[in-house]
Structures are given as structure tokens and as C-alpha cells.
Structure 1
Amino acid sequence: MRIKFLSVIVSFLIVSFALSSCLDSDDNYEFSSDATIHAFGIDTIHGKHYKFTIDQLNRLIYNRDSLPVGSDTIIDRILIDTMTVTGWITSGSPTDTVFVMSDSVDLRPAMNNDAGMLFKAHAADGVTVREYKLKVNVHLQDPDSLVWTDMQKRGNIFSNTINLGQQKAVVLGDELFVYTSNSTAYKTSTAPDKYNWSKVNVSNLPSDVKLTSAVEYNNALYMVTESKRVFSSTNGGAWTEVTTLGDNVIVLINGFSDRLSGIVEINGKQYFNICKDGKNWEAENTADNLTLEEVPAGFPTENISTTQTNTGNGVEKVVLAGMPLANEQETIPWFSLDGKGWASLANTMYDTYCPGMDNPAIMYYGDMFYCFGGELDAIYSSITGIAWSKTETKFLLPQEFKGKGAYSIIVEPTKDKTVAPADKRDFIWVIFGGNGTKNEVWRGRLNRLGFEIQ
């Protein structure tokens, strides 16, 4: 119910006159000139209260945490349950009426609208008035959906030549590199609005380099050769051998912020070691002074995919998956807290392990572990990396991925302290190509990771 503004003012003046006539004429009373809205709130949306901020300088009321998708069918008839003022509120056009808190209101005109809805706060003195604008922010996207973009619609593919050999994609800084041979690569900026491929001339990578071994650490790329040597590059084009790492390196494992983990071969056996400076192993790498942990049976040494998370105590933890599989039925993740030793996350419980798949990619993304690979026909999720289940809705792969063939998968995280949605990353890059597969580039992201407020 709304009451005409004029009638309220008349009533207010009559009451004021009656009070003053009953009192000593020598007494003077001053009514407050405070025309400020001190607090504002609406009824719950799906059982949740959303906080509204009041910008007193600009007289703007808004919610930083947007309401969920579909809220327009709720705010079309909702109660404003908090509107704290010293006087009263009017609203409406073309005629102001007193706002009644017990009445439901249609807030859709304020939804994602800079013009908003107007409210006037009237002070108790009956003279002072301040006008406020209400803007209700509502998500236009489902925050929990994984959305994919076919990058062929954003620009040309890096190469139309079908590569019969190995191919590998890796991120260095703000650039995505795709290596198609030991002498050729392509790169593009990973910024959302700067997708444009250019050719890179690669120098000094030997013919026996394993492109699939490429990893990034401390602003440099590293690759291992079939002859167990290590090469590095700071720009993706010019490569040099890291002779101090020796000629017995099986694989390098990235993921830690302050070290590379690796597997070295000594007297026919394989051991874990770590390298912090990108040049030297931390533990002495000889059979006479061997303090290294031996690599357990079933640990992957090819096509390794890593992801980083933290323990409950804030300790950095890296989880990986790769080839070859310990058994064809199960993809077994491994984890480490220091890179010096790795433990299996094998799960023997029926129907809760991650199924076996070729070249699995694992990632900790949006507060969950995800793993996919093989035919690229399903994604499996896990809270801890032990018990897995197939995702059935929202977080899915495009149908176009199924059975495409060779691929590289990279997750590019958003840099710390990035706030503006336009600058956020958290992209999942899927680059098809190599082994006779047609080159394609796709990019995915969980909607909410692109929002200003998570």
C-alpha cells in the first residue's frame, strides 16, 4: 500500500501543530535534518542474504556480490526488509508516494541498469531531502558452468599443416607457445583481446628432443632429450644446454613455485631430485653419495600433467598424472609436498577411482580436482584427488572434442591481486595437433572465475 505524499505531509504538520500548541510557547524544538539512508537490504534470494553497499558520496545503493542467474523472477515481487532512515522514504514516478516496508516491490527496473530506481530520503524536519539511486546487479551467466570458445572464430590457426610428429603447447609469461618440431614453434598472447599467432624460429634444440617434455619454471622453458640431456630457453626461441644438470635426466616435473622436481638415472635405477636455480641439482647426483629416494613402480615418466594446491596448513602441494598408466583400468594421481618424494593417491574402492585414460590432464580448478584425457568424452571430478566421479552437468567438454586425437592441455591461472574481470585468466587451453591430428585451439573457463567477486 502507498499513501499520497501530500496527505502525509499535511498529517505530519497537523500533528506537529497539535503538539506545539499543547506545550509551553517558550520551548523550541528542532527536528533532525538527517536525510540519510543508513542501511538497505532485501529479502533472501534462494535462502541467502545479499549485502548492499551505500555510496553516500554518490548516493548510490548497490550489491557487489551479484544475485544469481534467474533472480529476475524473484525480485519482481520482493520485500525491502531494511531501509534505515530518521524520517521517511518516498519513491515513484511521476508522483512521489511514501514507501511502505510491508509492501512487496518490483526491483526489475533496477536490475543491471545504471539509471536504477530512485528513492528519496526525507529528514524529520520535513525540509531536507536526499535522492538515492538503487542498482541491483544480477549475474547473466551461470557461475558454475564451464564455457568453451572455439578460437578459430577469434583468429587464424597457427598452422594449417598437419604435423605427423610430436607437438606440445606450453605457457611462458603471457605467451602461449606451440612447438611443432625442434626448429619451429608458434606463439600468441594469452590476453583475452590479443589472440594472434606468429611464427617463432627455434634454434639449438637437438633432433632427439622430446617436445612433450616441455615445462615452465621460473620464467624459463625446459625440455629433455632422448639422450637424457636438458635444454632451456628464456624466450622460447633460443635454447641452450644446461650441462650442469647432467646427461642422465629422465623427466622434469614442474608445479612447485620454488623448485623443479625431476627423475635422474643412476646405475640403471631412477631417483627423484630437485633443482631450485634451474641449473644444479640440490642433492649430489652420484652413486657414491646417494641420498635420493628411488622412483616407485608405476610412477609416470611421460606426458606428465601437474597441478598445484595447498594442504590445510597452507603447505604447497603438487599433484600429477601421466603416462604410462600403472594399469589400464585406473588413472592414478601422485602427490608431493617437496618434490623429493612422491606418494600414490591410488583408490581401491569400487567405482570411485578415476578411469584409465591416455595422456590424462589433471588440474585443481575452482576448488576441485578435475581429470580428463583419452577420447575426451568425459571429465572426472574429485574433492581430494582420491575418490572420483563423472561430471554430469555444467562442467563438461564440448561434443566437438570427442575422438579428435593428439592434444595439449594447459591451465593458465590468474595472476595474484588481479581484480578487473577483463584482466582475469584462469583459462583452460586445449590445443589439438601432432601425430596426424588437425590443428585446433579451444579455450574454456568456469564462468565465476571471470567475475570480479567470486
Structure 2
Amino acid sequence: MISKYFLGASVLIVNLLLFSSCLSSSDNNMEYPTDPQIYAISISSKTDTTSLLPGVVFTIDQVNGKLFNREPLPYGFHVDSVMLSLTGSTSYGFSGIEVTLEPDSSYAWSSSDSIAIPRLRKIKTTAPDGVTSKNYDFQLNIYQEDPYILTWKKIGENYLNSPVESQATILYRDRFYTYYRSGDEIKAVSTEISDTPGWEAVDDLPGIPHTLRLSSLITSGNIIYALDAATGAVYHSPDGANWSIVQTEYEVKAIYGELPNAAAGNILLAVSHDEKVRFARASNDFSDIVLMNDLPANMPVIDFTAMKVESKTSYASKFIFLSGGNTTSDALNNDIWILQEDGGVIQYITSKRPDGILKGSSLFYYDDKPYLIATSAGKNILMYSDNYGKDWIKAEENQSFPENFAGRTNTSVVTDADNNIWIFGGISSSNTQLVDIWKGRLNKFALD
């Protein structure tokens, strides 16, 4: 007689054997991923006391097989080894990773091991299938020179015919235009952007009044605007040469420039209305002028310097800055004004007053921050703001002007699309017109 317990045990053993066979068959038929690509990379190190490494963003160029950080680490940064984390397309990761260190040392690497990051040159990843592989060149970029050295060089001089009583230079349609008063005439020259500028005379300038206030020149789209100092009329030019008067509904006291948070062509003005001076917003052709709130009495309307600020990193940081110049009562402006449109009203504050004299100062926007050229003891000082004008910091020695840079006021400063600063002319300490050109560039851009 066969025990019922024996039969039950036999059935259980057979089922276990069949189940085990199914598992074995399933494992044998499983298809492992064939993608060997790296999809994320991060590094860290206990010796990184400033915690810079976790924030490094790597570019993964799958087409050319390159891993690198576009924004270099600071000048002088160094760590001997790091923990490296590589992420694949699935949770399987990689079946193998091989690294090559300089000079020509290759080995199989485990993610639990640290790696000599200054020597790492290549990474070879093998997909979970154990067959498909991909090679990457690796580069950890670190600034090899101080990126914040601002190098200045003199580009040219004496490019205007004497006499020169006043001058202003603008960037218009990828060319520099310098307008200058010579005797009873307004003349102009232009050149392409170049380290060896070839200045050409802009002939005749039909329609331009000889009393045009050169300090009021602005560009908006493809139009140049300026005010007539004698009549207060607005003049415009569609090509830099031909000028004509613009009929306006209100008397325009000042043209501050394009509002950075408005539609293209919206220009901020100061206008007279009912015995008051008010802000106004004009369309690009000045056919439509919308009145806004009153202008503060001590804000400049003549001979100021203006700068439009549109931050690349902060959407809300859109301003117009004003410095120097004179008010409607002809008093000197001793403040830096920060203007912003909010709901059809111009909000305004003043900066903490910086060192130096603001009369004849020049504002310009560079490296995503406001800069200011002021004067102190007959020399120019360069200042910048890290908080959009709230405070101003004197630039360090590595950005100061060279010894042969003559102190000046009322200079024209232009920044171009290639991250160059151009300084044109100005008035010397002896009250003579300077006719020279200087070019500056931060080392960080020269290393691109």
C-alpha cells in the first residue's frame, strides 16, 4: 500500500522541478538592453570644501562621443580624485565600464572606486547585453587663467576731422556711427566692427538740424532718434544718413530708450503735459504716445547716460538705469536711477550712491551686470553691481584701466554681440575732445 503522504510529496517535487525548468528557460530567453549610452553624469569629492562639483553640469554629446562641462570650474580649482556616477538607459546600468587615464593607463572601473579626475581622458561603456559598447572623450574644464581679467587695448585715434566740439557713438545695424559737431555742422562717420576700423564719411546728412543734442541719440529697431536742443523736436533717421522731424502730440523733454519689458518699439519718454513733466510710452514711430505717472523733480532729462538691463538669468530683472545729467531745473543729478514699468506705471528708486563723480559718467551692461565709468581725482574708475544697482563695487586691479588711458567724461560706451566693450572719445580733464577708441574684453570670453 502506497502512503498518501508519499504521493503528495511526489507531486510537490515534480511541480518544483517543472517550475525550476520554466525559470531556467525564461532566463535563457531574456533579452538584455543593447543601449550603452550615458544619460547622466555627476561627480563629488570629500576634498571639495566649496561643494562646487555637485553643481557641475555636463554636456553629453552622443553624436561625437564627448563628455564635458561648458561652464569651466573656477581658476585654481583642484581635486585629486572624485566619486563618479554614470547613469544608463535602464536600471540595468552597464555590464562594464573601462576608463583611460593619462598617460595611457586603461582598466575596468567599478562605481564604488574613486577616480583620478585630472587624468581621466576616456570612458568606454558596455551595454547590459555585454556586447554593444560606446567610447566617450572626457574633459573636465577648469579656467587655466583668471577669467575676470579685463584686458584693454587702444584700437585707434584721430579718426574725426577737426574741430570736434561734441560727439556720440552708437551701434546701428552692426556698424558704429559717430556723430559729431564740427563748427556749425553735424557730421558723421561709420565703420564695421573691427580691430582695424575703416571709417567712412556719412555724406550730407540731409534734414539733420545743426542743434541736434548728440547725447540724446538712441536706436529702436532700425530707427535712430534724437532731440533738437533748440526746439525740443524729435528727429529720426531710417538709415543713419537721412533725417526728418517727427510730429508728436506732446513736447518731448527726454528719450530714455526702449522699455525692456514692453513690446518691441515701446520707447520711454519724459513729456510736458498740463505744466507737468510726465513719463510716457511711445510707439516706434511716435504716432501713439500714452501718458503715464509724473516724473520726479530730481530725475535727469538732459545729458544723462542711459542703459537698458535685461537679465539672462532673472526674468523679472528688466530695467532702465539713468546716471549723470541735469534735471528740468538744470540742477546736477547726483543719483543713479532704476526705472521699471509695472502695470502702466513707471516705478523708480535710486541706488546707494557709489564712489566717484557721476557728472559725465557712462553706464553699460556687460557680463549680465550693470557697469559704471565714473571719475575720481581726475581719473576714471570702473564700478559694477552684483544686485542690479542696489550697491556698487569698485572693480579690482585686474579690471582697471591702463596707465595710458586718459581720464575722461561723457564718453560713449558700446557692448557688442561678441562680448567686447568699446569706448569712444570723451572730454579730457583739460576740457578737450578726445578722439580715440579703446576695446575691452573679459578673459572668460577670450577663452571661449
Q: TM-score, normalization: structure 1? A: 0.70
Query: Measured at CA, do residues 340 and 188 of structure 1 come closer, stay the same or move farther in structure 2, by a change above 3 Å?
Result: farther
Query: Measured at CA, do residues 214 and 104 of structure 1 come closer, stay the same or move farther in structure 2, by a change above 3 Å?
Result: same
Q: Which residue of 2 aligns with 1:353?
A: 353
Counterpart pick for 1:376 among 373, 380, 383:
380
Mapped partners of 1:118, 1:315: distance in 2: 42
**Alignment-mate amino acid for residue 306 of structure 1:** A
Mapped partners of 1:83, 1:247: distance in 2: 65
1:255-287: CA deviations, max 9, x gaps? Answer: 32432233345687644443213233525xxxx
Comparing 338-347 with 251-260, which one deviates more in the overlay?
Answer: 338-347
Contact 1:162–1:439 (CA under 8 A) maintained in structure 2: no
Q: Which residue of 2 aligns with 1:65?
A: 71
Q: How far off is 1:235 after superposition?
A: 1.2
Q: Which residue of 2 aligns with 1:440?
A: 436
Counterpart pick for 1:212 among 211, 215, 219:
215
Matched, 1:302 2:302: yes
Show structure 2 runs of 5+ residues with no match.
1-19, 88-92
Contact 2:166–2:433 (CA under 8 A) maintained in structure 1: no
Q: How far off is 1:168 after superposition?
A: 0.6
Mapped partners of 2:109, 2:441: distance in 1: 43
Counterpart pick for 1:319 among 307, 314, 321:
321
Contact 2:256–2:267 (CA under 8 A) maintained in structure 1: yes
Counterpart pick for 1:263 among 266, 270, 293:
270
**Alignment-mate amino acid for residue 425 of structure 1:** D
Matched, 1:51 2:57: yes
Mapped partners of 1:130, 1:341: distance in 2: 58
Q: Which residue of 2 aligns with 1:137?
A: 141
Contact 1:163–1:436 (CA under 8 A) maintained in structure 2: no
Q: Which residue of 2 aligns with 1:253?
A: 256
Q: Which residue of 1 aligns with 2:107?
A: 97
Q: How far off is 1:334 after superposition?
A: 4.6
**Alignment-mate amino acid for residue 349 of structure 2:** L
**Alignment-mate amino acid for residue 150 of structure 1:** K
Q: Mapping of 1:422-441 within 5 angstroms?
A: 424-433=417-426, 436-441=432-437
- Count of aligned positions: 392
Matched, 1:230 2:234: yes
Mapped partners of 1:313, 1:68: distance in 2: 26
Counterpart pick for 1:88 among 88, 96, 104:
96
Partner SS for 1:139: coil
Q: Which has the larger radius of gyration?
A: 2
Contact 2:299–2:333 (CA under 8 A) maintained in structure 1: no
Q: TM-score, normalization: structure 2? A: 0.71
**Alignment-mate amino acid for residue 337 of structure 2:** P
Q: How far off is 1:408 after superposition?
A: 1.4
**Alignment-mate amino acid for residue 99 of structure 1:** W
**Alignment-mate amino acid for residue 197 of structure 1:** W
Mapped partners of 2:132, 2:348: distance in 1: 70
1:55-76: CA deviations, max 9, x gaps? Answer: 44444333333333334x43xx
Q: How far off is 1:249 after superposition?
A: 3.6
Mapped partners of 1:87, 1:130: distance in 2: 12
Structure with higher strand content = 2
Mapped partners of 2:134, 2:44: distance in 1: 24
Matched, 1:221 2:224: yes
Contact 1:321–1:360 (CA under 8 A) maintained in structure 2: yes
Q: Which residue of 2 aligns with 1:78?
A: 81
Contact 1:220–1:232 (CA under 8 A) maintained in structure 2: yes
Q: How far off is 1:222 after superposition?
A: 1.4
Contact 1:274–1:340 (CA under 8 A) maintained in structure 2: no
Query: Measured at CA, do residues 160 and 206 of structure 1 come closer, stay the same or move farther in structure 2, by a change above 3 Å?
Result: closer
What is the Cα-based RMSD across aligned positions, in Å? 4.1
**Alignment-mate amino acid for residue 317 of structure 1:** F
Query: Measured at CA, do residues 214 and 81 of structure 1 come closer, stay the same or move farther in structure 2, by a change above 3 Å?
Result: same
Q: Which residue of 2 aligns with 1:178?
A: 178
Mapped partners of 1:175, 1:371: distance in 2: 23
Query: Measured at CA, do residues 159 and 40 of structure 1 come closer, stay the same or move farther in structure 2, by a change above 3 Å?
Result: same
Query: Measured at CA, do residues 426 and 56 of structure 1 come closer, stay the same or move farther in structure 2, by a change above 3 Å?
Result: closer
**Alignment-mate amino acid for residue 206 of structure 1:** P
Contact 1:261–1:340 (CA under 8 A) maintained in structure 2: no
**Alignment-mate amino acid for residue 297 of structure 1:** A
Matched, 1:280 2:276: no
Query: Measured at CA, do residues 282 and 323 of structure 1 come closer, stay the same or move farther in structure 2, by a change above 3 Å?
Result: same
| Highest RCO, 1 vs 2 (Cα 8 Å, sep ≥ 6) | 1
1:229-252: CA deviations, max 9, x gaps? Answer: 22211111111122x127944332
Query: Measured at CA, do residues 54 and 240 of structure 1 come closer, stay the same or move farther in structure 2, by a change above 3 Å?
Result: closer
Q: Which residue of 2 aligns with 1:409?
A: 413
Matched, 1:198 2:200: yes
Mapped partners of 2:424, 2:186: distance in 1: 19
Q: Which residue of 2 aligns with 1:11?
A: none
Q: Which residue of 2 aligns with 1:8?
A: none
1:86-106: CA deviations, max 9, x gaps? Answer: 323334576743335555544
Q: Which residue of 1 aligns with 2:36?
A: 36
